[in-house]
Amino acid sequence: MSAPLVFYRSTVAGPVRTPVDNSPKASGRIVSRLKKAYTRRRGDRSQQIRLAVQLGFSAIAIWVGVQFYMWVRYYEAGGATLKVARPPGVEAWLPIAALMNTKAFLLTGAVPDIHAAGMFMLIAFIAISFIYRKAFCSWICPIGTLSEWLWQFGQAVFGRTFAMPPWLDIPLRSLKYILLALFVYVVVAMPVPEIRAFLASPYGLVADVKMLNFFRLMGQTAAITIAILLVGSIFIKNLWCRVLCPYGALMGIVALVSPTRIRRNADACIDCAKCAVACPSGLPVDTALSIRSAECNACMSCVAVCPASGALDLTIGLKRANGPVPPWALAAGLLIIFLGIVGYAQHAGYWHTHLPEETYFELIPHAEELAHPR
Ligand code: SF4
Ligand code: SF4
């Protein structure tokens, strides 16, 4: 067996020796110059595997969007266009209906008739967040993927991104929790019969169509807001996810009790700070022994850049000794959870919302005229 490759890197304490490579200029840390032996970490594929999963889910989201648009057009055109099946996956964009259905399901044990697919996807994403932290945001969510590509584009074109100062970052970050609290309050305050009546109302039945119309028939204010978010996302990492996304806020709260977290082994760490520089959530990965923050989305970017073998890993269980989670295992785990829950819903006949054709012919062309029942 060949001996492991051993490299030397400066650490933060000890007598002065010759400086070595990769000084972490961007971190602003002071690094003294005692050489520390380390074994170079090799063969990380986490970001390639994550990209493959992101591309897969983004392709599904685009396919669902196109099919849903064609389905809506069929009813708007009075049956004159190509008829396609309604893709229940569109209900992933109805988080409030999913929360309402989840509450009704938990209190009654009965699977709802309307928009149940959204509830099953919410349960799958919560389960993923419990087991793998907020991996939903960095591995699955198409908005998270778009946000990441935007700041990577900004970094490639302008050479850098910008971090908000704490006095701005902390209050802005709390906005997503305030939005989540409002939604949760509305759902908690609504009795189950009212939830059922709301979802079975004309407004509730075509809530998905109204969501599509929001983007198709967007007003000036909404368009300007989205344009600001898109441009801002080029310069600030994951702006939407960090500041405004209530779905991500919910996943982050669930992740607080997750047994999975990034752990740093101080003995193997060479204090290069590359992990902290790479972290899109701005977390102090290079100084903490474990990352419990609700902002950690299990993207493994920090692990991917860490040069020292055994210094940084995504681990599951209460102790580091329980072992690192390889990226392929994370990918396989979240796919098994997602496909398992969706597959169960399909197999059990809960996946589709069954409504008569006439209802859709009657409601969809007039979706914009339907007012909120309360
Ligand atoms: S700590 Fe690591 S896994 Fe968590 S968000 Fe930062 S880079 Fe991603
Ligand atoms: S854990 Fe962070 S600071 Fe330590 S060696 Fe790895 S990248 Fe460098």
Q: Are residues 168 and 273 in the same domain?
A: no
Calculate mean pLDDT across residues 319-328: 79
- 360 in any annotated domain: no
pLDDT mean over 175-199: 96
Q: Is the CB of 277 under 6 A from ligand 1?
A: no
DSSP-assigned letter for residue 364 = G
Sign (positive/negative) of CA torsion 16, 17, 23, 25? positive
The closest alpha carbon to 333, from 148, 129, 144, 57, belongs to 129
Q: Inform me whether the pLDDT recorded for 159 exceeds 90.
A: yes
Percent of residues, the chain, with pLDDT higher than 70: 89
E strand or H helix at 10, and its extent? strand 6-11
Same domain, yes or no: 51 and 127: yes
DSSP label at residue 110? P
Does residue 374 lie in a domain region? no
Q: List phi, psi (to 5°) of 13.
A: -145, 160
Q: Judge contact between 287 and 341, C-beta under 8 A.
A: no
Asked if residue 336 has pLDDT above 50, the reply is yes
80-85: long-range pairs with CB below 8 Å, 24+ = none
Instruction: Determine the Cα–Cα distance for residues 158 and 141; give it in Å rounded to an integer.
Output: 26
Which positions ≥6 away from 275 have C-beta within 8 Å?
264, 285, 286, 302, 303, 305, 306, 312
Above 90 in pLDDT, residue 235?
yes
pLDDT in tens, 257-287: 999 999 999 999 999 999 999 999 999 999 9
Q: What is the mean pLDDT of residues 333-362?
A: 97
Q: What is the total residue count of the chain?
A: 374
Instruction: State whether 169 and 223 are in the same domain.
Output: yes
Task: Tell me what percent of the residues of the chain surpass a pLDDT of 90.
Answer: 84
DSSP code at position 190: S
Q: Is residue 264 in contact with ligand 2, taking CB distance under 6 Å?
A: yes
Q: Region 178-200: what's the mean pLDDT?
A: 96
Q: Are 235 and 115 in a shared domain?
A: yes
| Selection from 371, 374, 65, 359 nearest residue 208 by Cα | 65
Residue in this structure with the two tokens 């009795």, named with its chain if needed: 191
Residue 102: inside a domain: yes
pLDDT tens digit string along 291-305? 999 999 999 999 999
Distance from residue 277's CA to the centre of ligand 2 (Å): 10
DSSP conformation letters of 31-52: ---EEEEEEBP----HHHHHHH
Nearest residue CA, atom 4 of ligand 2?
269
In-domain check, residue 165: yes
Question: Is residue 29 located within the same domain as residue 114?
Answer: no
Q: Is 269 in the pocket of ligand 2 (CB under 6 A)?
A: yes
DSSP assignment letter at 108: H
In-domain check, residue 301: yes
Q: How far is CA 167 from CA 27, 163, 171, 231, 298, in A?
A: 19, 11, 7, 22, 26
Structural domain count of the chain: 2
Ligand 1 centroid to residue 111 C-alpha, Å: 36
Q: What is the pLDDT, as a whole number, of residue 233? A: 98
236 and 89 housed in the same domain: yes
CA angle 262, 51, 134 (to 5 degrees): 40
Question: What residues have CB less than 8 Å from 94, skipping those under 6 apart?
Answer: 115, 118, 207, 208, 211
Summarised one tens digit per residue, pLDDT across range 211-224 is: 999 999 999 999 99
Segment 87-113, tens digit of pLDDT = 999 999 999 999 999 999 999 999 999
Name the closest-CA residue to atom 8, ligand 1.
Answer: 299
Per the CB < 8 A criterion, the answer to whether 179 and 244 are in contact is yes
* Ligand 2 contact via 313 beta carbon (within 6 Å): no
- pLDDT (0 to 100) of residue 369: 83
Given a contact cutoff of 8 angstroms between Cβ atoms, the answer to whether 303 and 312 are in contact is: yes
In contact, 176 and 244? CB cutoff 8 Å: yes
Q: According to the model, what pLDDT value does residue 314 have?
A: 95
Listed residue (103, 123, 68) closest to 199, CA to CA: 103
In whole angstroms, what is the distance from residue 274 CA to residue 304 CA? 10
Q: Is 270 in the pocket of ligand 2 (CB under 6 A)?
A: yes
**Amino acid 14: pLDDT:** 34
User: Could you tell me if the CB of 315 is within 6 A of ligand 1?
Assistant: no
At 38 the pLDDT is 81
Q: Please check whether residues 204 and 233 belong to one and the same domain.
A: yes
Q: What is the pLDDT of residues 30-78, one digit of tens each?
A: 343 446 778 888 889 999 999 999 999 999 999 999 999 999 999 999 9
Atom of ligand 1 nearest to the CA of 300: 3
Contact 92 CB / ligand 1 (< 6 Å)? no
Closest residue by CA, ligand 2 atom 8: 272
323 inside domain: no
| Same domain for 279 and 246 | no
Q: Which ligand is nearest to the CA of 275?
A: 2
Domain residues for 310? 6-40+261-316
Q: What residues form DSSP beta bridges with 29?
A: none
DSSP assignment, residue 181?
A: H
Average pLDDT, the chain: 90
pLDDT, one tens digit per residue, over 341-354 is 999 999 999 999 99
Q: Is 300 in the pocket of ligand 1 (CB under 6 A)?
A: yes
| Banded pLDDT at 370 (limits 50, 70, 90) | confident
Q: Is 97 helix (H, G, I), strand (E, B) or coil?
A: helix
CA 289–ligand 1 middle distance (angstroms): 13
